Amino acid sequence: GWYRLADPARRASRSVQQQFGEGVRSAIKYTFRHTTFSGEASFPLEGYGVSATSEVGTHSGGPARGPFFKQRCAAQVALPLGPAASLTLAGEAGLLLPLRPAPAATPSPITDRFFLGGLSGASLRGFSQRGVGPSDVRRPPPP
């Protein structure tokens, strides 16, 4: 779909500013899911779940160009601790690869990157949305 990367607050770092612009991102995505959970979907009491999402796509226009491959895998297990309680463990991993050679200093498009933080079930609680990971110095707010 069409995207526009801009910074109305004018606080983005230089590395993000270099990716400003408009473009079209086209992709084909396939997701496999398998679960054996018992109980409510949001609070499983027992079982496991796995998912794998594969995506192949390309960018046209804008600063982000070229084909890419993106893979994301997730797993979750719920261990019963009694009739109405369980211990749930979850993890995710992802991979983003360009499908054509690019200069070593070319960063991946920000529109394709993986982010952590926020309130989703597969995130790190206590951090702001997309608030975990490498970051760059932001510009001071305008006067």
Burial class (CB in 10 A: 0-12, 13-18, 19+), 89: exposed
Question: What pLDDT does 109 receive?
Answer: 79
Sign of CA dihedral 136, 128, 123, 19: negative
pLDDT bucket at 115, cuts 50 / 70 / 90: confident
Question: What pLDDT does 123 receive?
Answer: 63
**What is the Cα–Cα distance from 29 to 52, expressed in whole angstroms?**
10
**What is the Cα–Cα distance from 37 to 41, expressed in whole angstroms?**
7
Mean residue pLDDT across the chain? 81
Q: Is the pTM of this model over 0.75?
A: no
Closest CA to 57 of 98, 99, 24, 28: 28
For residue 61, CA distances in Å to 3, 53, 71, 105, 110 come to: 10, 25, 23, 20, 15
- pLDDT, tens digit, 9 for 90 and up, residues 10-66: 777 877 788 788 888 889 999 999 999 987 777 888 999 999 999 999 887 766 667
AA letter at 16: V
Please report, for the chain, the start and end positions of each structural domain, with discontinuous segments joined by +: 2-98
DSSP 132: B
